[in-house]
Amino acid sequence: MSRAVVLLSGGLDSTTTLAVARRDGHTPYAMTFRYGQRHAIEVDAARRVAGAAKVADHVIVDIDLRTFGGSALTGNANIPKDRSAESMSSGVPITYVPARNTIFLSFALAWAEVLDAGDIYIGVNALDYSGYPDCRPEFIAAYQRMADLATRAGVEGKGPHIRSPLIDMTKAEIIRLGQSLGVDYSLTTSCYDPDSHGRACGRCDSCKLRLKGFSEAGVSDPIRYVGDGP
Q: Report the alpha-carbon distance of residue 225 to residue 140 in Å, rounded.
A: 33
Q: Which of 54, 62, 86, 196 binds its own copies (CB under 8 A)?
A: 62
Residue 107 binds its own copies, judged by CB under 8 A: yes
Q: Residue 202 region, left (φ>0) first, then alpha (ψ -120 to 50), else beta?
A: left
155 binds its own copies (CB under 8 A): yes
Cβ–Cβ under 8 Å, residues 184 and 52: yes
Q: What's the alpha-carbon Rg for the chain, to the nearest Å?
A: 17
Q: Which one of the spans 82-90, 147-155, 180-188, 218-226 is the region binding its own copies (CB under 8 A)?
A: 147-155
Distance separating alpha carbons of residues 160 and 118, to the nearest angstrom: 5
134 binds its own copies (CB under 8 A): yes
Given 59, 167, 172, 226, the residue binding its own copies (CB under 8 A): 59
Backbone angles phi, psi at 186, to 5 degrees: -70, -20
Q: Is 106 in the site for its own copies (CB under 8 A)?
A: yes
Counting contacts by CB under 8 A, is residue 215 touching its own copies? no
- Which stretch, 19-27, 79-87, 104-112, 220-228, contacts its own copies (CB under 8 A)? 104-112
User: What distance in Å separates the CA atoms of residue 173 and residue 170, rounded to the nearest whole number?
Assistant: 5
103 lines the binding site for its own copies (CB under 8 A): yes
The least distance separating its own copies from the CB of residue 37, rounded to whole angstroms, comes to 14
Whichever of 61 and 219 has its CB closer to its own copies, that residue is 61
Nearest residue (CB) to its own copies, 52 versus 110: 110
Q: Does 77 bind its own copies (CB under 8 A)?
A: no
Determine, following the binding rule CB under 8 A, whether residue 86 of this chain makes contact with its own copies.
no
Q: Does 205 bind its own copies (CB under 8 A)?
A: no
Cβ nearer to its own copies, comparing 146 with 219: 146
Asked whether position 181 contacts its own copies by CB under 8 A, the answer is no
